[in-house]
Amino acid sequence: MVDLTKGYPDKGYKIIGKPVPLIDSRAKVMGQALYTDDIRLHNPLTIKILRSPYPSANILSLDTKDALALKGVKGILTGADFKNTFGVLTISKDEPAIARDVVRYEGEPIAAVAAETETIAEAALKLIKVNYEITEAVLDSKTALKPTDRPLHPELNKENNLHKKVLQEFGDMEQGFSEADVVIEKRFRFASINHGFTEPHATQVEIDNKGNITVYSATQVPHYLHMAMAEVLEIPEHNIRIVKPHLGGGFGGKSDPFPHEMIAAKFALDLGRNVKIKFTREEVFFSHHGRHQTDLTMKLGFSKEKGITALGLDTLIDGGAYGSFGIVTTYYNGVLLQGPYKIPNFRFHVNRMYTNKPMCGAMRGHGGVNPRFASEVLLDMACAEIGLDPAETRLKMIHKENTLTTNEFRITSVGLQNGLKEAMRRTKWHEKYGKLPFGKGIGVACGFFISGSALPIHWNKLPSSTVRMTIDHDGGVTVYSGATDIGQGSDTMLAQMAAEVLGQSLGNIKVISADTRITPVDLGSYSSRVTFMAGNASRNAAIRMRKILVEAACALLDIDPPKYEKPEKSKDFFRQGGLKPDFEQGFLGPNPDYSDGFIFEDGLIRSENHNQSVTFLEAVEKALEFEGILQTSGTYRAPKLGGKFKGAGAGLSPSYSFTAFIVEVTVDSETGFIKVDKATCAHDCGFPLNPLAVNGQIEGCIHMGLGQALMEEMVYDNGATQNPSFLDYKIPSAFEQPVVDIVPTFSDDSEGPFGAKEAGEGILAPIIPAIANAVYDAVGIRLTQLPMRPDRVIFALEKAKKDKGATS
Amino acid sequence: MNLTTVSVNGLDYTKAVSPSMTLLEFLREELGLTGTKNGCDSGECGCCSVMVDGKPMLSCLMLVLEAEGHKITTIEGIAQGNDLHPVQEAMVEYGAIQCGYCTPAMVINGVHLLENNKNPSNEEIKECISATVCRCTGYNSIERAIHSAAAKMKGGCHG
């Protein structure tokens, strides 16, 4: 196996920075890892959901008598059984567990049956009589803008189907465009796409018949589910325990509370029985929550001397029937353009519309992916028009470290420049760009992304992340974290933190995660927050533990314990991390320097000054003498960031990752087929904690970006999902995946745990425009609609031929 | 209900089953062998692959009554106790496992490939992997793992 640490600085760590397999991979490769549907509860009822065949209708009547009379049917729920609606955002709680009176999308739950067997439940669905009055559906976001007397959500008191409008302007757009050598405006369109995780949604609920339920669910957000469920069921949160078993992929698609989770919990409570529900693949597509269908027009002003002088965009995003994460998506469609380059004059206007389609929500790269495509293609066009090298031009424009963006995002570490330079060298960029034969092309694009949202969804003063840590009498270390391992390896990352700080092997660290009864609150796995936030929390819990053990060792060695002085608060707004831990405060600080004159290794705790040691276990036993248990907590809090204007909180993050792609393609001008031959990626994730896991994220993002670029799209006809299966919703196979070259790219992030930033999402966005720019280099066409299907390639080629004929 | 005897991982199981029961349901619900996953229940994703007489088949598309008289091997029958098959070992080592939901099927297909082809080409490995949808890895690490396992098996470390 090649040395994955090559090219990165050696910081002398034992576990951090080393390629380690995910700690649950052995259980997974043997088939032993239990996913939600693998759990076997005692005598569970099976739940099936009746779904609306119409995208827009009034429910005139609902007769469940015959279904309820069927032998083996134990209960039926309808919209009337749920008073409260819910939503992941407190400002957008618009979704009912079951449609009440009104249907807003095809596939919406109309009723649910709990029965002794799946066969009986399915038979019962057929006996439910629903009398629908079909109403006119709002099928696209343009129509949704028109005034109507019957909007999807009349409670919002709007005259049309606008869910959220965001308009922000910075600088002077007119001035910016007047300074430009070239101004280009273009319209771009993007299909909605689905996460395509392999494990369908599943939930099981166990009841103890004392009013408590344990909800096993395939969720990325146990904490948000916990809160939403308590509100919908109208019971205290302490009666509910949410457990996330192994999870078969999320990508944002399991980051909302879902109707089926509410339905399952209500059945369990009402019937006093354990229950289970699992979606078919069709149901996964029906409930969707994927990337928004988008129609955007972007205008770029570019100057040879100054770079980007102005960028403006008008965007319509099709949210579907409910809110989901949509308000955040609306902001992210604008603010995630604030990197990786400085944009002095910037304006965005985004409208998220309600339509009678399955709702859209968060998906890997959330809100930033589609506008990134547009801006990187326009930048390429500007370079082509002026005759600049698009890679060299980008190199010059990448944010400098420790600067502010125009909308006051704090940019701290940036390591992309060296990565992009190396990617250019490796790909022989200068020998290839503009010089390859017709049909072969090379393209470049860059991007950036948040390392976790600095602000919580539910406003509160709690830490963003908290980790509890214990050491047993035999020296075994356990990390308790609410962070949600969805396959990205967060459990492994948490264990690495503890192992490094406490000088233990990875095997001596157990991780218990995502169980609301025993793990502290963590906001969940979304916005690429887990490494930065839960990672810092785990590291800080371990640092507190280390202090206890050092003091115990000192007592045993009869030496003075180290003095921990309160560190002076950092005056550098851009560098808050790396200080000594502040043990007088609840929060030790981000990424504190825990060097204390002791070395933890080989089962020993050794004083460097006295060259004396005790065993780790002796220190543990000593520390246990008084308290009886050895337990610490660690937290992460984002620093105070951002401007004072309305909406300034959107996109704020303690740190940002940066990515560049150089992509090489072959375009068959006869079939219109685009083959991505090679993707060279430079991703600055600070210091990679686990190169094996980081590379896996990069390759996975390439796969998903490739899918959106070339083939993936949700197809609707009159609101009806046309391709709810993996046969009709195509995702790339091993044959489409390109050769991948990962350029070691890093920076020194003072606040990320051991210098790390995000590596799960930001990578996805820039590969898509890099492909489009390579297609231009190959055959001279600008594709502005995703996916870049062969028919669109052929159409564009023919149009280019005609245009050429017309001008010559 | 029909009485049927199916050989799974070397043991014969006799059960009364509904004639419409799939092999996948039988493995998961009747035998509790939940290592075989149900990603779509309609033959699209490949996550339910098991070996039938040594050949990978989609257990969601096979009725359990059709499995009578055949030897079924599931992911639970691949490792020998704690000794992983070289394909499994390589999948762990090369980081070819993220969420892990497709992993059992990838292993089944990989093991079948390497036990029938000592020198698989890149194309053959891609073909083998294409039997299963993986949404996490981009397939690159799985390819590397199978290449590595092939080299190891040629060295005679296993079976």
CATH of the domain at B37: 3.10.20.30
Co-location of B73 and B131 in the same domain:
no
Co-location of B115 and B148 in the same domain:
yes
Residues of A in contact with B84 (CB under 8 A): 26, 29-30
Which pLDDT belongs to residue B44?
A: 96
pLDDT band (50, 70, 90) for residue B159: very low
Q: B48, B77, B106 — which closes off a domain?
A: B77
- Average pLDDT over every residue of A434-449: 98
Cis peptide before A456 (omega within 30 of 0): no
B39·A488 Cβ contact <8 A = no
Is B59 near chain A, with CB under 8 Å?
A: no
Q: How many CB atoms lie within 10 A of CB A435?
A: 11
Query: ipTM above 0.90?
Result: yes
What's the CA gap between A510 and A507, in Å, rounded? 7
pLDDT over 50 (residue A9):
yes
Options 3.30.365.10, 3.50.50.60, 3.90.1170.50, 3.20.20.140; CATH of A293-454+645-807: 3.30.365.10
Domain that holds residue B122: 86-154
Q: How many CB atoms lie within 10 A of CB A576?
A: 21
* Arithmetic mean of pLDDT over chain A: 97
Place of tokens 């999807």: A152
Map residue A189 onto helix, strand or coil.
strand
CATH (residue range A456-636): 3.30.365.10
Co-location of B14 and B73 in the same domain:
yes
Is A725 near chain B, with CB under 8 Å?
A: yes
Kindly give the interhelix angle for B86-93 and B140-154, rounded to the nearest 10 degrees: 140
Residues of B in contact with A699 (CB under 8 A): 137-141
Co-location of B6 and B71 in the same domain:
yes
A196·B33 Cβ contact <8 A = no
B137·A703 Cβ contact <8 A = yes
Residues of A in contact with B99 (CB under 8 A): 197-199, 246-250, 486-487
B136·A30 Cβ contact <8 A = no
For residue B103, being part of any structural domain is answered with yes
Is A254 near chain B, with CB under 8 Å?
A: no
pLDDT over 80 (residue A808):
no
Q: What is the CATH number of the domain that holds B124?
A: 1.10.150.120
A31·B133 Cβ contact <8 A = no
> Which residue in A29, A247, A702 is closest to B103 by CB distance?
A29
Q: B57, B77, B97 — which closes off a domain?
A: B77
Residues of A in contact with B135 (CB under 8 A): 195-198, 249, 251, 700, 703-704, 731
Residue window 62-121, chain B: list those with CB within 8 Å of chain A. Answer: 74-76, 78-79, 84, 88, 91-95, 97-104, 107
Which pLDDT belongs to residue A456?
A: 86
Which pLDDT belongs to residue B156?
A: 61
Q: Which of B135, B142, B147, B152 would you mutate first to test chain A, the one with the most A CBs within 10 A?
A: B135
pLDDT tens track for A292-335 = 999 999 999 999 999 999 999 999 999 999 999 999 999 999 99
- Average pLDDT over every residue of A547-561: 97
Is A711 near chain B, with CB under 8 Å?
A: no
A731·B135 Cβ contact <8 A = yes
CA–CA min distance B86, chain A (Å): 11
Beta strands of A28-137 (E only): which ranges?
45-51, 57-63, 73-78, 102-103, 109-115, 129-134
Co-location of B129 and B65 in the same domain:
no
B76·A31 Cβ contact <8 A = yes
CA–CA min distance A6, chain B (Å): 16
A734·B33 Cβ contact <8 A = no
B133·A731 Cβ contact <8 A = yes
Co-location of B22 and B66 in the same domain:
yes
In chain A, ranges of CATH 3.30.365.10 domains = 293-454+645-807, 456-636
Co-location of B51 and B90 in the same domain:
no
Of A64, A531, A194, the closest CA to residue B135 belongs to: A194
Is A363 near chain B, with CB under 8 Å?
A: no
B95·A692 Cβ contact <8 A = yes
Of B102, B88, B100, the closest CA to residue B145 belongs to: B88
A28·B79 Cβ contact <8 A = no
Number of domains in chain B: 2
CA–CA min distance A38, chain B (Å): 6
pLDDT band (50, 70, 90) for residue B158: very low
A25·B99 Cβ contact <8 A = no
Helices (H), A290-435: 326-335, 369-386, 390-397, 416-427, 429-432
Which pLDDT belongs to residue A458?
A: 84
Across the A/B interface, how many CB contacts are shorter than 8 Å?
A: 167
Which pLDDT belongs to residue A460?
A: 84
Kindly give the interhelix angle for A764-779 and A369-386, rounded to the nearest 10 degrees: 30
- Average pLDDT over every residue of A631-636: 98
Structure pTM? 0.98
DSSP B72: E
- Average pLDDT over every residue of A750-764: 98
Which pLDDT belongs to residue A144?
A: 97
- Alpha carbon distance, N-terminus to C-terminus of chain B: 40
CA–CA min distance B78, chain A (Å): 8
Is A248 near chain B, with CB under 8 Å?
A: yes
For residue B159, being part of any structural domain is answered with no
For residue B61, being part of any structural domain is answered with yes
pLDDT tens track for A27-70 = 999 999 999 999 999 999 999 999 999 999 999 999 999 999 99
Co-location of B119 and B70 in the same domain:
no
CATH (residue range A36-137+195-287): 3.90.1170.50
A733·B130 Cβ contact <8 A = yes
At residue A686, what are phi and psi to the nearest 5 degrees? 70, -125
pLDDT tens track for A601-611 = 999 999 999 88
Q: B28, B48, B77 — which closes off a domain?
A: B77
**Of the listed ranges A460-464, A475-479, A635-639, B47-51, the one predicted with least confidence:** A460-464
With CA atoms as reference, the chain B residue closest to A740 would be B140
Co-location of B53 and B110 in the same domain:
no
- In order of A22, A201, A230, A361, B57, the CA distances from A256 in angstroms are 26, 12, 15, 8, 35
Q: Judge contact between A729 and A723, C-beta under 8 A.
A: yes
Co-location of B112 and B149 in the same domain:
yes
- Average pLDDT over every residue of A76-86: 98
With CA atoms as reference, the chain A residue closest to B95 would be A21
A1·B93 Cβ contact <8 A = yes
Which pLDDT belongs to residue A806?
A: 77
Q: How many CB atoms lie within 10 A of CB B24?
A: 23
With CA atoms as reference, the chain B residue closest to A281 would be B40
CA–CA min distance B77, chain A (Å): 9
Is B61 near chain A, with CB under 8 Å?
A: no
pLDDT over 60 (residue B130):
yes
Q: Are strands A307-318 and A346-353 parallel, antiparallel or unpaired?
A: parallel
With CA atoms as reference, the chain B residue closest to A706 would be B138
Co-location of B72 and B107 in the same domain:
no
Co-location of B92 and B73 in the same domain:
no
Q: How many CB atoms lie within 10 A of CB A578?
A: 17
- In order of A263, A390, A450, A500, the CA distances from A661 in angstroms are 44, 12, 18, 32
Which pLDDT belongs to residue A457?
A: 83
Residues of A in contact with B102 (CB under 8 A): 198
Which pLDDT belongs to residue A491?
A: 98
Structure token digits, residue A764: 């996805």
Is B124 near chain A, with CB under 8 Å?
A: no
Which pLDDT belongs to residue A627?
A: 84
